[in-house]
Structure 1
């Protein structure tokens, strides 16, 4: 997938989620007003938080494309990761917090008011399930384009684009939340005990808390800094190592500055009889070929260093923390 197609796919996923979640949120709030259902109100808050989150994702996508400047010489790509982490906090604080507060409050108070017009509530949930399914399918389709065939869970964890995995997580949680809300309303209707509806709100709260935790863990890794895929690193190492003027590749390090922005640094040992001008020409060609094969590699820094010199520098770096602690 090219960089442009990946960005278009991310934006399409977010826009589809905004449209569906906004319509669903309004519908759920209207239904909650007429039915008095705690589960329906929790789901309305859930959809409203999701809509707000997608707005933050659009903001992150826009701001991450700003060009590098003197203050941020490597660009603003990681700003998308910052807004993704804000989203995880919002899901926990607003979505989960309100659902737990409302559900537990009604259980503790022993409220026994029956749900009015339960058929309306169930009909709204059924319609919401259809809309959420459409948004989920779009997000899952974009996720499938990024997969590397290492298993569903591993491919999910390897994703570097939070705009896709956040929408996928939110929509998955929303579909489960709708089923939970429908179950709570249905049990309240069958048993005549409205506390089942309140319990549904509590379960939705825990579901959102779990979703926020998963997103926070995944985004934290991106904020700290994750390497590019091992396949990219190995391909670069193999391609550079085959060149006749290269004695060996000492080290390759990569860092994702954004979903489609990788910083690559490399320590290379050249043969002793290579002239300096030939080294300069080789480095220029290496950089050109890497960018041509891997367009997501935006910045490349190649250090000319003997194998012995690299080992010595590595030993000094490893010894530095223990020296500081002493």
Structure 2
């Protein structure tokens, strides 16, 4: 299920991109700028992407069913992947096509002041949207570079919007340079080149987003920090001899499943082992609230060589 923070980021980006897209299309029609048309397409695609993420949030929030006993939280990753494909196909590919088509045209740009005004306003709006996304991303990942923060985030409602806004600022900067060169040097080819460069930037961002969301779709593990906390809690309990294995998977941005193979003290009875498993599961959830389900598989040592055999499993839902 999506957090309120990720919804806030998406709504902020949606409002900004919707206004910017309409303004850019008017400016592109008035001036005939290829770079401005590419930016208009980019903003329209971003607006559609935010709508898709909102659909994903709603569908991911559905309760568990017999067919989906762990819920539908992972569906948000599917919609994040669709967003990446749209950025690639509609944003990047169309911008490159438009730029190549305009390379052979040499019509001078008219009303360049409109482009400059729209690009300046768009830079301000996109900067504000990026600031919202960056603040929420940093709240999740307070340390490290922006790249490590994006890779560490499991919420496409935040990291996808951050990447989109960053790409939007990059595209606007490219468009501003291309329009300026085309107008002041009276060389329209720079406008077409800027459109191609914007498309290449979007293709690169789309490939990066697709890679990140695909990893989550295929069962990405919890972060190193979460797993370290899990192991620390278990190892600090006097009833635990050793933790043989910890497996984890994200069922959603804030839902983690943890499966543990654990060796309790041999003198403990089955009732005591079951009680310990339930208690440790609750301790893990308090330590890391994102942990939604904990399953433990107790093991018992058979000899001094370390061979083990399973005993009846105990779980904490």
1:269 is displaced (CA, Å) by 1.1
Question: Could you tell me whether the CA contact under 8 Å between 1:250 and 1:307 is conserved in 2?
Answer: no
Aligned partner of 1:73 in structure 2 is 69
Match status 1:42 vs 2:3: no
Alpha carbons of structure 1 residues 201 and 307: separation in structure 2 relative to 1, 3 Å? farther
Match for residue 99 of structure 1? 95
2:294 alignment partner, SS class? strand
The structure-2 alpha-carbon separation of the partners of 1:301 and 1:186, relative to structure 1 and needing over 3 Å to count, comes to same
Distance 1:116 1:238, change over 3 A: same
Q: Is the aligned partner of 1:206 residue 2:200?
A: yes
**1:108-187 maps to which residues of 2 (within 5 A)?**
110-187=104-181
Cα offset, 1:305, TM superposition:
1.5
**8 A contact 1:82–1:223 mirrored in 2:** yes
Change beyond 3 A, Cα 1:313–1:246: closer
Query: In structure 2, what is the equivalent of residue 84 of structure 1?
Result: 80
- Judged with a 3 Å threshold, the aligned counterparts in structure 2 of structure 1 residues 122 and 311 are, in CA distance, closer, same or farther, namely farther
1:228 aligns with 2:208: no
Task: Please tell me the root mean square deviation across aligned C-alpha atoms, in Å.
Answer: 1.8
Q: Which residue of the partner structure matches residue 256 of structure 1? A: 250
**Structure-2-length-normalised TM-score:** 0.93
> Is the 1:227–1:253 Cα contact (8 Å) retained in structure 2?
yes
Q: Distance in 2 between matches of 1:291 and 1:279?
A: 18
TM-score by length of structure 1 reads 0.90
Pairwise CA distance, 1:293: 2.0
CA distance in 2, matches of 1:262, 1:139: 23
Query: For each residue in 1:248-284, what CA deviation from the matched residue of structure 2 results, as whole angstroms up to 9, or x when unmatched?
Result: 1111111111110000000111222111111111111
Q: Name the CA distance, whole Å, in 2 between partners of 1:226 and 1:308.
A: 34
**19, 27, 30: which is aligned to 1:31?**
27
Paired with 1:134 and 1:244, the residues of 2 have a C-alpha distance of 51
Q: CA deviation at 1:313?
A: 8.4
1:63 alignment counterpart: 59
CA apart distance, 1:241? 2.2
Alpha-carbon distance between aligned partners in 2 of 1:195 and 1:246, rounded to the nearest angstrom: 70
Q: Distance in 2 between matches of 1:13 and 1:38?
A: 30
Per-residue Cα deviation, 1:85-130 (whole angstroms, up to 9, x for no partner): 00110011001111111110111xx211111101111111111111
| 1:175 CA displacement | 0.8
- Cα distance in 1 for partners of 2:158, 2:49 equals 12
User: Counterparts of 2:307 and 2:106 in 1: how far apart (Å)?
Assistant: 73
Bigger drift between 12-21 and 96-105 goes to: 96-105
Equivalent residue, structure 2, for 1:324: none
Q: Would you say the 8 A contact 1:60–1:79 is kept in 2?
A: yes
- SS of match in other structure, 2:153: coil
SS of 2:260's partner is: strand
Change (3 A) 1:308 1:123: farther
Contact residue 91 and residue 209 of structure 1 kept, 8 A: yes
List runs of 5+ in structure 1 lacking aligned partners. 315-326
Pick the aligned partner of 2:297 from 289, 303, 319: 303
Match of 1:211, SS state, is helix
1:194 aligns with 2:212: no
SS at match of 1:306: strand
How far apart, CA to CA, are the structure 2 residues paired with 1:312 and 1:148? 41
Structure with higher helix content: 1
Instruction: Work out the CA distance in 1 between the residues paired with 2:17 and 2:307.
Output: 55
Residues 11-26 of structure 1: pairs in structure 2 closer than 5 A: 11-26=7-22
